[in-house]
Amino acid sequence: MTKTVFDVLKIREDFPILKRVVNGMPLVYLDNAATTQKPQHVIDAICHYYTHMNSNVHRGAHTLSNEATEAFEAARRAVQDYIHAESSDQVLWVRGTTEGLNLIASSYGGMVLEAGDKVLVSAMEHHSNIVPWQMVAQQKGANVEPIPVDAEGTIDLDAFKSLLDEQVKIVSVGHVSNALGTINPIEEIIALAHKVGAKVVVDGAQSVGHWNIDVQKLNCDFYVFSAHKMFGPTGIGAVYGKRELLESMPPYQGGGEMIEQVSFAGTTYNQLPYKFEAGTPNIADAIGFAAAIEYLNGLDRKAAAEHEAELLNYAVSLGEKLDGFNLIGRAKNKTGVLSFLLEGTHPSDVGMILDQKGIAVRTGHHCAQPIMDQYKIPGTIRASFSFYNTKQEIDALFAGLETAKMFLL
């Protein structure tokens, strides 16, 4: 088969920040798992809203409000299409994945959990997919239990099966680990959980920027993600939920927009999705979110994914040749995350030296302390790749690691 050519240099022209110089060196941005950079198309869309149609949405009696409302709801439909949801009213706006998980834990978890029930999360989860469940479990007398992860960074499916019983009401798992890059077997996890009647929440923060998502095919009950990890703005994300679950759930917050009628005798709530969207929403960034989706849809996603896989393989091959390089997370199925330690050094020291060379990586526990504790390490150095990165940038990373060794060892 002929491999699709991916013109990374042409793609890089779409991202103005990649032309930056940091500490006298060209920026090498390898912190994409924390947040991705924004194409000019997204920046322009946000600017256009504030320049030409800035107004509050819904119930406006003037042109600006009508235009803003149409663009805002068109953005919701863009998210619906991107994740292949049945209807746009199953897409709820939130500030990001963290708020989305809190919404589900508080509203759905608070509604269904009882004393003795269990919530299962994997041992490699981001804190945002652990702490909200612990909070509601404490209120309800339920328990949050970890699904074991092996030394390679892969979920132990046999152990997961052994944990499943009628007391398990919710399984909440990341599609991709932000700390290790592991792609979890979500389809199998969902099918197994459903056999015991458990509902499944998928943290899609690290997956939506890498490939297309089909929530109907997955048959997940909830799917949560953020715009800023898929080349969109910060402060906006989305929750998808199956209609019957969303309709049964109580509101997460109270105030304007989420009501149908308010009186001191009692209040009735709005229909989906507005029941969960109290207050003035993040209109500009919802529009920017839609622009990010439009940009992604204009790419050859298959070629982009192949390019990212090439970058990871290239980085791993260079790591194997570097004395003292210890790769953390060796799952066979991974996205472009290189999480590692350099023997005899502290991750933060290495990160500071790399920064002096204009190389942006992330160091620390990556909000995944339980898996770091399992590996008996304080954290890692994490280089995470996107389709606008190049092999030359990875060469720069490893040259920087050689410099760090020279200074620190």
Compute, in degrees rounded to 10, the torsion defined by CA atoms 387, 393, 398, 399: 180
Give the chain's length.
409
Alpha-carbon span 192 to 145, nearest angstrom: 16
At 348, list the tokens. Answer: 């933060």
Write out the E strands in 334-379: 337-342, 359-360, 362-364
Which two three-digit tokens encode residue 32? 């994409």
* Bridge partners, residue 360, by sequence: 29
Cβ neighbours for 57, distance < 8 A, ≥ 6 positions apart: 65, 68, 69, 72, 73, 281, 283
Residues ≥6 apart with Cβ < 8 Å to 267: 254, 259, 261
| Contact partners, residue 181, CB within 8 Å, separation at least 6 | 33, 153, 312, 329, 331, 334, 335, 336, 337, 338, 339, 384
Q: How far apart are CA 351 and CA 200, in angstroms?
A: 36
44 CB-side CA count, 13 A: 9
User: Which positions ≥6 away from 371 have C-beta within 8 Å?
Assistant: 123, 124, 149, 153, 177, 179, 180
Task: State whether the Cα torsion 186-187-192-198 is positive or negative.
Answer: positive
Calpha distance 168→170 (Å, rounded): 6
C-alpha to C-alpha distance for 206 and 64, rounded to whole angstroms: 35
Cβ distance 174 to 129 under 8 Å? yes
Instruction: Enter the DSSP assignment of 202.
Output: E
Contacts of 161 (CB under 8 A, 6+ apart): 192
Concerning whether 367 is annotated as a catalytic residue, the answer is yes
- Bridge partners (DSSP) listed for residue 173: 202
Tokens describing residue 53: 């149609």
Q: Which of 77, 111, 74 is nearest to 91 (CA)?
A: 77
Q: Which of 159, 278, 367, 399 is catalytic?
A: 367
> Which residues participate in catalysis according to the annotation?
367
